[in-house]
Amino acid sequence: MTVKGMTAVLRVPRFGDGRIANRDPYTALLVALASVLVGLALLGPVIAPYSPSATNVLEANVAPSLSHIMGTDSLGRDIFSGILWGARVSFAAALVIVAISLTLGTTIALFSAWIGGRFDLITNGFLNAALSVPGILVAIIAVTVLGAGFWTPVLAMAFASAPYVARVLRSVALQERSKPHIEALILSGIAPLRINLHVIRGILPIILAQATFGFGVALLEFGAMSFLGLGVQPPTAEWGAMVVAGRNELLAGHMQQTLCAGAMIVISVLVFSLLGERLMRKLEGTA
């Protein structure tokens, strides 16, 4: 179906018809990598060999070995354990950001498509204006006012991301809203809530693609906030905080903490961003 404001032609399939999950090797690899990363975040505290806060100055800045496969930092803390524990914090932040932004964005898109007319025009103008404000700038301002931590930047970035999600889903929801079967439900006097549940079902694949892509973006932005010292504070293990904690060690030639934490951020962002892009391309019929 043709979507206003987008050059692509989207064919929105139902879940279970096999189109989204065409078993091509590229998509299968991305799904496998994403599953491994999520598994590490869920099981990290269980499989971590040490506590991420356990210090041992006698083993400070030890190179990778059998006992410390990623080495240790300047306080003798095991970097691999910090990576595993930090995955839970980083992924939890990204999950909350995506969940809130998708909920708000989907709600705005459905209201705009359902009411239409002048309300839709005003909403579209508001969304276009909101897109000009960088999400990380909103988070920095929020942290400046309310203080650093986990929830302040997460909530700020979630609300800042909602207009982007709404802008994408609004176009698809408008097309779904105008379909014959939706019009038939309206004429039948079905409650608006039940009708919009049918609309959500029609745009669900797009929501899934947005969630996957947005997860990678959220990981990067939250890591950037921690790198700036505005996110999770020490001694809590988190990838962005680990990157900045190891920068002083770089001058002494001990790059393992910054390198390992930075590599995990890059790999995770790439995997989820590419997976989200792949899903969208399948929906567009170009993959």
Domains with residue ranges and CATH for the chain = 80-284 (1.10.3720.10)
Q: What's the pLDDT at 17?
A: 45
Where would I find the H helices in the chain? 25-47, 79-115, 117-130, 135-146, 151-177, 180-187, 192-227, 239-245, 247-250, 256-284
Q: What's the pLDDT at 81?
A: 95
Least confident of 96-110, 178-192, 263-277: 178-192
Q: What's the pLDDT at 6?
A: 35
Q: Which residues contact 108 (CB under 8 A, 6 or more apart)?
A: 123, 127, 162, 163, 166, 170
What percent of the chain is modeled with pLDDT above 70? 91
Q: What's the pLDDT at 277?
A: 87
Per-residue pLDDT band at 145 (split at 50, 70, 90): very high
Using an 8 Å Cβ cutoff, are 177 and 183 in contact?
no
Specify the pTM.
0.84
Report the mean per-residue pLDDT for the chain: 86
Per-residue pLDDT band at 23 (split at 50, 70, 90): low
